[in-house]
Amino acid sequence: DTAVSQTPKYLVTQMGNDKSIKCEQNLGHDTMYWYKQDSKKFLKIMFSYNNKELIINETVPNRFSPKSPDKAHLNLHINSLELGDSAVYFCASSQGRGRASGELFFGEGSRLTVL
């Protein structure tokens, strides 16, 4: 059983379109994250939710909107896609705060290509 699963795994779309990526974790964790990994493999946090509450919101364009319907799910919606949005988007989860918050369990990633 996959612990952190995200869909779709691959997404190819045109500039200006709107797309969503979904993430689910069955680990019973309280905290979920979205990270973006660019072509140089740099992994950068975008958002974090703890028990459905937004706790981290990095300097991300407001075209990106996360939504957490419950603590097991965290989705990412992107409006008006731009070429620079092409990257691998990783969902992750962790158990609570403190030390455990640094031990992240990542999903397989969603590779977004904007043409």
Q: Which residues bind other proteins (CB under 8 A)?
A: 31, 33, 40-45, 48, 50, 55-56, 58, 90, 94, 97, 99, 101-109
Which CB atom, from 18 or from 58, has the smaller least distance to other proteins? 58
Query: How is residue 29 written in tokens?
Result: 């964790």
Closer CB to other proteins, 41 or 83, in the complex: 41
Residue located via tokens 């937004």: 54
Cis peptide before 69 (omega within 30 of 0): no
Classify 100 as helix, strand or coil: helix
Name the minimum Å distance from CB 56 to other proteins: 5
Name residue, tokens 């996360």: 66
CB of 12 to other proteins, least distance (A): 16
Cβ 8 to other proteins shortest distance, Å? 15
Backbone phi and psi for residue 67, each to the nearest 5 degrees, phi listed first: -145, 135
Comparison of 64 and 90: residue with beta carbon closer to other proteins: 90
Q: Which amino acid is at 84?
A: G
Separation of alpha carbons 30 and 37, rounded Å: 23
Q: Min. distance of Cβ 18 from other proteins in angstroms?
A: 25
Cβ closer to other proteins: 75 or 94?
Answer: 94
